[in-house]
Chains A and B, each alone.
Chain A
Amino acid sequence: MSLDRSFFVPLESPLHRLNPLTKLTFAFAMIIPAFLSVPRLAPALVIPIFIAVFAGKVQKQYLNLSLKLILPAILFMFVMQSVFLPIGETVIFQLGRFDVTQEAMQTAFLTISRIFVMVSSFAILLLTTHPGELMSDLTRRGLPPQFAYVINSTLQILPQMQAKAQTILSAQRSRGLDTESTFLKRVGAVVPLVGPLVFGSLVEVEERAIAIEARGFTSTRPKTFLRDVPDTRTDKIIRWLLLVFVILSLGGRIWLS
């Protein structure tokens, strides 16, 4: 239940075994060329992304995520850009007053490819990497521990905040707060919820600060890590290859244009 808010799928796969930094590098090695290299490359990056999805054995979860999150967003984007972008001469068809041109559709296709690559590559990272492992590895490499703490604790504390909001809401309703009639009244019902939730959380923040301070969070000694996150030679080779790929793709942009 602790992992409810993260996308992580605990499995054994070659991708799961990779170091988090390698997977993060993969994400950026997809995103940077998608946005900065020649436009033709962006749709082609779907291929390495699908390979990675299968290597991580997370096809089912990835498909689920795509249908719920990525597909609606890119469909919307595609329609909007195709119809409203005022560029191009080659009119394919007309939608009311708007001309849908071939050029506009091409631009729209490029945009959605880029978004697809960006969201997917991060989805792969999150689906195959335990958030604790990701943060502990990045902290070991010099990410400020405060930053890692914020990410980790947000994942855990959000569900607790939701539960608390529900409790406050129930308490207010038992005192006659109207949360079920007209829209305006329901919006008004949010006000007595926000006060206790926000101020209550501020008090909690102080206590939590004391609690983690009592456990040496600000200690100046070099930190150690319970999780042993292996960083193998394979990881290093993959990262170098990805870097080469990024450089080549950017170089391609300069040479080919």
Chain B
Amino acid sequence: MAIVTLENVTYKYPLTETPALQNINLQVEEGEFVAVIGPNGAGKSTLCYTLAGFVPHFFKGELTGRVEVAGMESSESALHEWVLNVGLAFQNPFNQISGAKYTVFEEIAFGLENIGVPREEMKVRVEEAMKLTGISDLADRSPYSLSGGQQQRVALTSILVMQPKVLVLDEPTSQLDPIGTREVFGVIRTMTERGMTVVMAEHKVEWIANFADRVIALYEGQILLDGTPRKVLTSDLLKEKGFGISRYTSVARKAKTLGLWTREQLPITLEEAAEGFALTPHPSPEGRGES
């Protein structure tokens, strides 16, 4: 069953002429993990904000078309009801810390306080959420004393504890180092394994290739491609339009022009690339080390 439905959605920010989103049609099934890729300014963040209800409720502006998420219509629901069903986390971990709380435990409980969860239930839910994201040991630390990766996991936990039906992530790893990125993807994987619907704008295509069920390529506010990671990430269109491309795909594409990649299908992961290159006949011993 589709939990997210966008029909002919076009949106303009206030005081702008060109729409940030144009004629978007999109359905996301329950439990699906959809990655959204696109160059800067393609509308990834706007799409995330639309799913999370901030477009148009927070940013105002002009929205046409139908947005339906978890059974709510954007035109009928207020933002504070919308956020009960859709969780949003974004790039800068630091700005997602509420700033009003003194420990990580309190920080995570902040959302539950706001929506009036009784104290005993609150404690149980916070503890469970922290266990799930692996940050139980940070409970008594100050949210500001943490590393970027830890802060981002606190931000994610703060959203997950509210038990949203859909999780929307706007480049949650773009300001993190490789270790922080791995930690955050670990959390997301746990959530998808538990059946959470996830929509995630992300630049790191190597990670998307390994995790996502489906990839949507946005370009100038429109959906350019929509399909399996294999189909979308290896498309020649991405290269033409200046998208970020997996290094495995790039190398194999180059190798193909030189006759060194023999498969039809280009790889999107390290494993596929290694397998494919193993099939390549090696003309000389020097060529072997590089494959």
Interface residues of A (CB under 8 A from B): 1-3, 130-132, 135, 145, 148-149, 152-153, 156-157, 159-160, 204, 207-228
Q: How many positions in chain B have a CB within 8 Å of any CB in the partner chain?
A: 45
Inter-chain contacts of A225 with B (CB < 8 A): 113, 119
Contacts of B117 in A (CB 8 A): 224
Q: Which residues of A contact B98 (CB under 8 A)?
A: 149, 153, 208, 211-212, 215
Query: Chain B binding site: helix, strand, loop or mixed by DSSP?
Result: helix
Residues on the B chain within 8 Å of A130, using CB: 102
In the complex, per-residue mask of B86-118: 1 if CB is within 8 Å of any chain A CB, else 0? 011110101111111111011001111111111
B99, B115, B142: most-surrounded residue (chain A CB, <10 A): B99
CB of B145 within 8 A of CB of A152, answer no
A1's partner among B90, B95, B119, B142 (CB-CB below 8 A) is: B142
Pick the interface stretch among B76-84, B216-224, B255-263: B76-84
Bound: A148/B110 CA distance, A = 13
Given A2-B103, A156-B144, A212-B98, do A207 and B119 touch, yes or no (CB 8 Å)? no
Measured CA separation A219–B105 after assembly (Å): 21
User: Which chain B residues have a beta carbon within 8 Å of chain A's beta carbons?
Assistant: 52, 54, 58, 79-80, 83-84, 87-90, 92, 94-103, 105-106, 109-119, 122-123, 142-145, 155, 158-159, 162
How distant is the Cα of A63 from the Cα of B97 in the complex, in angstroms?
Answer: 35
Q: Across the A-B interface, give the 4 residue pairs with the lowest CB-CB distance, nearest first.
A: A2-B142, A215-B111, A153-B99, A152-B100
What is the bound-complex CA distance between A4 and B82, given in angstroms? Answer: 37
CB atoms of B99 and A152 under 8 A apart: yes
Contacts of A145 in B (CB 8 A): 114
| Sample of 22 A–B contacts (CB below 8 Å) | A2-B102, A2-B103, A135-B100, A145-B114, A149-B100, A152-B101, A156-B102, A207-B96, A210-B90, A213-B54, A213-B83, A214-B54, A214-B89, A215-B162, A216-B111, A217-B114, A219-B116, A223-B114, A224-B117, A224-B122, A226-B113, A227-B106
Closest to B164 in A: A214
Chain B residues positioned under 8 Å from A149 (CB to CB): 98, 100
User: In the bound complex, what is the Cα–Cα distance between A219 and B90 (angstroms)?
Assistant: 21
Besides A2-B144, A204-B95, A215-B162, 7 other CB < 8 A contacts? Answer: A1-B145, A210-B88, A214-B159, A222-B116, A224-B112, A224-B113, A225-B113
Residue pair B119, A228 in contact (C-beta under 8 Å) = yes
* Chain B min CB distance to A75 (Å): 35
Give Cα A256–Cα B59 distance, bound, in whole angstroms: 62
CB distance from B102 to the nearest CB of A (A): 5
Taking the closest CB of chain A, its distance from the CB of B128, in whole angstroms, is 15
Of B88, B99, B123, the residue contacting A214 (CB under 8 A) is B88
Bound CA span A207–B89, Å: 11
| Given A204-B95, A208-B95, A221-B115: A213 touches B100 (CB 8 Å cut-off) | no
**What's the Cα separation between A1 and B143 when bound, in Å?**
10
By the criterion CB–CB under 8 Å, are A214 and B83 in contact? yes
Instruction: Please state if B83 and A132 are interface contacts (CB–CB under 8 Å).
Output: no
Min distance, Cβ A135 to any Cβ of chain B, angstroms: 8
Q: Judge whether A132 and B102 touch: CB under 8 Å.
A: yes
B98 to A, closest residue via Cβ: A212
Which residues of A sit under 8 angstroms from B106, Cβ to Cβ? 132, 226-227
How far is it, in angstroms, between the C-alpha of A211 and the C-alpha of B54 when the chains are bound?
Answer: 11
Interface pair B145/A2, CB less than 8 Å apart: yes
B100 and A153: CB pair below 8 A?
Answer: yes
Query: Quick check: B144 and A160 within 8 Å, CB to CB?
Result: yes
Q: Judging by beta carbons under 8 Å apart, are B122 and A226 in contact?
A: yes
Complex Cα gap A157–B143 (Å): 12
Say whether A216 contacts B115, CB under 8 Å: yes
A223 adjacent to B54 (CB under 8 Å): no
What CA separation (Å) do A3 and B114 show in the bound complex? 23
Given contacts A156-B144, A224-B122, A226-B113, A208 and B83 within 8 Å (CB-CB) = no
Q: How far is the CA of A183 from the CA of B105 in the complex (A)?
A: 47
**Is B92 touching A215 in the complex (CB atoms < 8 A)?**
no
Task: Give the distance in Å from the alpha carbon of A130 to the alpha carbon of B103 in the complex.
Answer: 12
Chain B residue at minimum C-beta to C-beta distance from A133: B102
Residue contact A219 to B114, C-beta cutoff 8 Å? yes
